[in-house]
A = this chain, B = another copy of it.
Amino acid sequence: MLIARTIKQVKKAVSKARLKNKTIGFMPTMGALHQGHISLIRKAKKDCDFIVVSIFINPKQFGPNEDYLKYPRVFRKDRELLEREDVNLIFFPAVSQMYPDNFSTYIEETHLSQVLCGASRQGHFKGVCTVVAKLFNIVGPDIVYFGAKDYQQAKVIERMLIDLNFPIKIKICPIIREYDGLAMSSRNSYLDNEQRKNATCLYSALSLAQVLIQKGERDAKKVLAAMKGLINLTNGVKVDYLKIVNADTLGDIQIIKGKVLIALAIFIGATRLIDNKELYVK
């Protein structure tokens, strides 16, 4: 396994793989890897011959009051995990490698990125699109892998790939959950024992919504009210948003029908967690 700290090293290693006609699979990550990331790598290994994982905590996708500085940095652990998964190349750049002086070009998706997390986190998806496009141009992958836990992110990236004609395929992989339903996330490590227990309310709320819809409820307002009721039973939790949207456009819907996404973000103490469930409703 190669560890590249510079763009030049990445290009050299990938060119070599290309010459051997290898298919390049790529996953951009911020490190603090968990089973969710591993599931992407294992999926990629089925499709591709050369697997690249980047670990870069991108300052440009964090707001001024967000957790950039405290985001977990555990490179040694991540490296061991990637070694075990037989990844071919880690790209682990410094901030100065990604954003040299005079950096001034940004990519912005202007529709899908405006709602849900984009409404709460000003500039977040602009930072994501910009860094992801850079990484795509550096690595030059055939297929990239994103997790459905960050559903909106995956949709925004998918839109960017189409709109800017990147010659890259995207695969969006299912959410991986803990034994009690909590979606895997690097931010789960912020939670103390009490908060960790309370965090199950995200999945409980999604499960409740699913049951209500399966029982025939089609009024989004009613389902959302029930979810909110359930979350409000939990101590120390503040809802950021709670939405039922069209899963393609991410626009609000009144009547639950077709491909829908139930999505929520909550604060538990200072920790912001998100989760979602995609459903096809007849």
A279 within 8 A of B: no
Q: Is the CB of B110 within 8 A of A159?
A: no
Where chain A touches its partner, the secondary structure class is mixed
A103 within 8 A of B: yes
- Using a CB-CB cutoff of 8 Å, which residues 89-132 of chain A contact chain B? 102-112, 129-130
Q: Is the CB of A129 within 8 A of B110?
A: no
A180 within 8 A of B: no
Chain B hits for A11, CB < 8 A:
167
A138 within 8 A of B: yes
Q: Is the CB of B110 within 8 A of A164?
A: no
Which residue of the partner chain, among B102, B106, B164, B166, contacts A108 with CB atoms under 8 Å? B106
A165 within 8 A of B: yes
Residues of A within 8 A of B (CB): 7, 11, 102-112, 129-130, 133-134, 137-138, 140, 159-160, 163-167
28 A-B contacts, Cβ less than 8 Å apart?
A7-B165, A102-B111, A102-B159, A104-B109, A104-B111, A104-B112, A104-B163, A105-B108, A105-B110, A105-B129, A105-B159, A105-B160, A105-B163, A105-B164, A106-B107, A107-B164, A108-B108, A130-B164, A133-B164, A134-B163, A134-B164, A134-B165, A137-B164, A137-B165, A137-B166, A137-B167, A138-B165, A140-B167
Residue on B nearest A15 in the bound complex, by CB: B167
- How far in angstroms is the closest Cβ of chain B from A282? 25
Q: Is the CB of A163 within 8 A of B110?
A: no
Q: Which 7 A-B pairs have the closest CB atoms?
A: A105-B163, A104-B111, A137-B165, A105-B109, A105-B160, A104-B110, A138-B165
- How far in angstroms is the closest Cβ of chain B from A166? 5
Residue on B nearest A107 in the bound complex, by CB: B107
Chain B hits for A7, CB < 8 A:
165
Residue on B nearest A166 in the bound complex, by CB: B137
- How far in angstroms is the closest Cβ of chain B from A155? 11
Residue on B nearest A10 in the bound complex, by CB: B165
Which residue of the partner chain, among B106, B109, B112, contacts A110 with CB atoms under 8 Å? B106
Assembled-state Cα–Cα distance A140/B7 (Å): 19
Q: Is the CB of B159 within 8 A of A104?
A: yes
Assembled-state Cα–Cα distance A110/B111 (Å): 20
- How far in angstroms is the closest Cβ of chain B from A114? 9
Assembled-state Cα–Cα distance A102/B7 (Å): 33
